[in-house]
Amino acid sequence: MGQWADTPAGKLFLDCEAEQIRKQMPETRQSEQLLWLSAFHCEAPVEALSVCSKLDKIPPNYNAIIAHEYELPFFDNEFPMVISSHVHEYTAEPHRYLRELARVIEPEGQLIISGYNLFNILGVGLRHRLYRRAGSPVYPTHYLSIHRLKDWLRLLGFELEGGGFFYYLPLTRSPAILDKLRWMESAGNRWWPRASAGFTLTARKRLPGMTPLSNRAKLRLWAPAPQPALARVTQAGLTEKHEHR
C-alpha cells in the first residue's frame, strides 16, 4: 500500500483527501480529541490520536498506537469524532470494523470515512494502478460501494449528514503534468462529481429511539395541554361529564 502512496499521484490523492476531510469537519470539532485511523502511513489531516493496525506501517519517529482494527483499546463512547481513511477497504470484516467505530464514538458524535470510488472513469484507472503495483497486494480486499457503505452505517444507528468527492486528475507519474492539471480538481467538483476516484461520508451517531423533531412536531410539543373533564353525580345516580371551558 505504501508503494502507491509514495508516488506523485498517490501523494496528491492523499492531499486531496485530507483537504476534503478538513472541509467536512466543523471548526468546533478541530479543538476536541479526535481519533484518526488510516490504511496509509501518512499524517492526519488535523491534530488527532493516530492508530495503526500493523507495526511495519509506522515510519521511524512517528507516534501512533498499535491496535487491531476490531479491538480498539478505548472505552465505549470515548471520542466525539472519528476519522477513518480506507481501513474498511483493507480489512477482512468491514462490517465488524464499522461496529467497532460505532462503539468508540460518543452519542451524537461524528464519523468521517473516506474510500475509493472505483466504479467510474477515473476509478478504472485507479483499480488498474493499484492492482499492478508489483510486490504489494494493494488492491482493496473488500471494496464497498458508496451505497452499500451508507446502508451499513444506517443499520449501525448513524444518520448521514453529507459527504464529498475528490481527485479528478489522471494517474500519471509526472509531477509536472499533475501540476498543470490541478484545475481539473475544482472543475470536477462542479461538473462531474461522481467521476472522482475518492469520496468521503459524514455521519452522526444517533441514540436509539431518538429522531430529530420536525417543525410540526415541535408545535405539538409546546401546544397547551387539554383541560380535564369534570364529572358530577345527578339525583338519578347517573354520572354526567362536562368539559371544562
| Domain definitions of the chain by residue range | 2-213
User: Is the pLDDT reported for residue 41 higher than 50?
Assistant: yes
| Mean pLDDT, residues 236-244 taken together | 49
**CA quadruple 165, 169, 174, 178: dihedral sign:** negative
Residue 52 makes CB contacts below 8 A (sequence gap 6+) with 38, 41, 58, 64, 65, 66, 67
At 197-236, the pLDDT tens digits run 889 999 999 976 555 555 555 555 555 655 555 555 445 5
Nearest Cα residue to 127 out of 143, 113, 114: 143
At 142-196, the pLDDT tens digits run 778 899 999 999 999 999 999 999 988 876 777 887 888 788 877 777 787 777 8
Cα 12 to chain center, whole Å?
Answer: 20
One-letter amino acid at 90 equals: Y
Q: Is the pTM of this model over 0.75?
A: no
pLDDT for the residue numbered 111 = 96
User: Is the pLDDT reported for residue 240 higher than 70?
Assistant: no
Q: In the CATH hierarchy, which top-level class contains the domain 2-213?
A: alpha beta
| Mean pLDDT, residues 132-144 taken together | 56
Residue 80 near residue 109, CB atoms below 8 Å: yes
